Amino acid sequence: MADHILVMKNITKEFPGVKALDNVNLEVERGEIHALVGENGAGKSTLMNVLSGTYPYGTYTGDIIYNGEECQFKTLRDSEEKGIVIIHQELALIPELSIGENMFLGNERKGRFGIDWDRTYHEAEEHMKQVGLKDEATTLIKDIGTGKQQLVEIAKALSKNVKLLILDEPTSSLNEEDSRMLLNLLLDFKKQGMTSIIISHKLNEIAYVADKITVLRDGATIETIDNANRDIDEDRIIQGMVGRELSDRYPAREHHISDEIGMEVRNWNVYHPIYTEKKVVNDVSFNVHKGEIVGFSGLQGAGRTELAMSIFGKSYGTNISGTLIIGGKEYDLKNARGAIEAGLAYVTEDRKGNGLVLADTIAINNTMARLEKVCNRGVIDVDQENAVAEDYKEKLRTKTPTVQQSVGNLSGGNQQKVLLSKWMFADPEVLILDEPTRGIDVGAKYEIYCIMNDLVAQGKSVVMISSEMPELLGMCDRIYVMNEGDMVAEMPASEATQEKIMAAILKSDKK
């Protein structure tokens, strides 16, 4: 019989009005990497929160059997004592503290008088070595990139003597290179006998790393797929997730490219807002035609977001220079208001931080970028505002009972739709979409793609920044590649491949 480190039996968890988990079963064998997949709201995170004691024993029904004994975790600390450590999507590190301090936060290495700093940093570096981090343990968290921060989280888990490591969307904010490194690290740990559970939307990564894949849908276990031979492809997983076969992950699209140029940027330079001598965008030129979707590929820190935000009314950076032409007219935009009036929209990659007011309703968010459109001499016509929001809700098929719902209560995919509604309502000619499908499920992604196609069919120009190459290849007419602030390649999507894009990046690195 298989040696199960963890068995979760008939787990049911209810929130007021919603059954988040309905008799879910999960069996994890010792020493395997077990993937948990499902659309947003399928109950993956809820299940892991039940396991880790975030939702204490008694608030759910069902049994958790860990290492052969039944567990009743009341707090996160209870589960950590047993060696179950969960790393959340949003990293729980304090930027102003050092790597070592973060690693032993709440678990300080005590000497006779207070904290033993020598021991703290020595042990921290031991664990950092295990994950391949070569920085000093005294480096502050804010001075290292997201990729390394993720590694610090894992090192922190190791310091807690982890037996079962749970990673919730560990690669969602990493570029392909860092993601691959992280996944290989998990495979190394597996060889050393550690068990991991990984939650991810990135199915190619799952197929690469997981031995078993459990699919959740609407709070119920659908199936567990065996991937020991690495013979499961993404389509097979998607089929389980959505309950139907998604024959095409990208909607078919007629080409609408007109000869007219929607937006052109020439010799664009941007410097870092704080380290003003550092150049983040270096002499970049590009254009996008009306009715065209242009993709921007590149690794994290390639300067794509910085480029986009600096174009959008100088919302990022200092000492910006270059020429910006929108609809044949040259603009010198001073702020976001000017950019919106010039017909530009920037749909941020960080919908919670930069995009939406989570506490406010869908209706209020929907009109925010162009509130004057529902105003009469500065007085808001609330009825008209609600009608607008209802209209977009129907058009984009946002799932919500009413437009008076707070945006914070929506799932990621629906939040993204509200964010898109907000910018579509601003009625721009050129839309810059920064990671428009980050962290949302396959079904919602497809719908976002359809919206993009509708936009270009109306003759608008779309610039799509994405770290997922297949998405760029599937959706764009033309692809630009950036690396370290430089524009390094431009290719028609018909000729582009993932290999070609990577090659362009790597070649420019050598220079």
Partner 1 sequence: MNAKTLLKKYTMVIALVVVFILFAILTGGRLLYPQNMSNLLLQNAYVLVMACGMLLCILTGGNIDLSVGSTVCLVGAVAAQLLAAGLPAIPVILLGLVIACIIGVWQGFWIGNIHIPPFICTLSGMFLFRGLGRAILGSKTVSINNQTFLNIFASYINIPGVDSGDVKWSAFAVGVIVAVGLLVFTAMNRAKKAAKGYKQASAVSEFAKIVVIDALVLAYTWKLAHYKGIPVMALWVLAVVFIYAFITSKTAFGRYFYAVGGNEKATKLSGIDTEKVYFMAYLSMSILAGLSGLLMAARIGSVNGDTGTSFEMDAIGSCFIGGASAYGGSGTVGGIMVGAILLGVINQGMSIIGLDNNWQYVVKGAVLLVAVIFDVVSNHKTGKAG
Q: By the criterion CB under 8 A, which residues form the site for partner 1? A: 15-17, 312-313, 315, 335-341, 346, 348, 353-360, 364, 368-372, 375, 378-380, 382-383, 386-387, 408-409, 422
How many whole angstroms separate alpha carbon 26 and alpha carbon 10?
9
Contacts of 473 by beta carbon, 8 Å cutoff, 6+ apart: 479, 493, 496, 497, 498
Give least dist CB 66 to partner 1, A: 26
- Of 100 and 313, which CB lies nearer to partner 1 in the complex structure? 313
* C-alpha distance across the termini of the chain, in Å: 56
Instruction: Estimate the crossing angle of helix 117-130 against helix 146-159, to 10 degrees.
Output: 110
- Of 187 and 359, which CB lies nearer to partner 1 in the complex structure? 359
Give least dist CB 383 to partner 1, A: 5
Give least dist CB 266 to partner 1, A: 24
- Of 235 and 372, which CB lies nearer to partner 1 in the complex structure? 372
CA-nearest of 416, 461, 421, 414 to 438 is 416
Helix boundaries (H) for 192-228: 203-209
- Of 45 and 195, which CB lies nearer to partner 1 in the complex structure? 45
- Of 327 and 338, which CB lies nearer to partner 1 in the complex structure? 338
Give least dist CB 407 to partner 1, A: 10
Contacts of 412 by beta carbon, 8 Å cutoff, 6+ apart: 40, 351, 439, 440, 441, 444
Helix %, strand %, coil % of the chain (to 5): 35, 30, 35
What value, to the nearest 5°, has the Cα angle with vertex 80 and ends 79 and 86? 90
- Of 90 and 260, which CB lies nearer to partner 1 in the complex structure? 90
How many whole angstroms separate alpha carbon 233 and alpha carbon 237?
7
Give least dist CB 478 to partner 1, A: 26
How many whole angstroms separate alpha carbon 303 and alpha carbon 80?
39
- Of 105 and 382, which CB lies nearer to partner 1 in the complex structure? 382
Give least dist CB 312 to partner 1, A: 8
> Hunting for tokens 């032409």 — which residue is that?
325
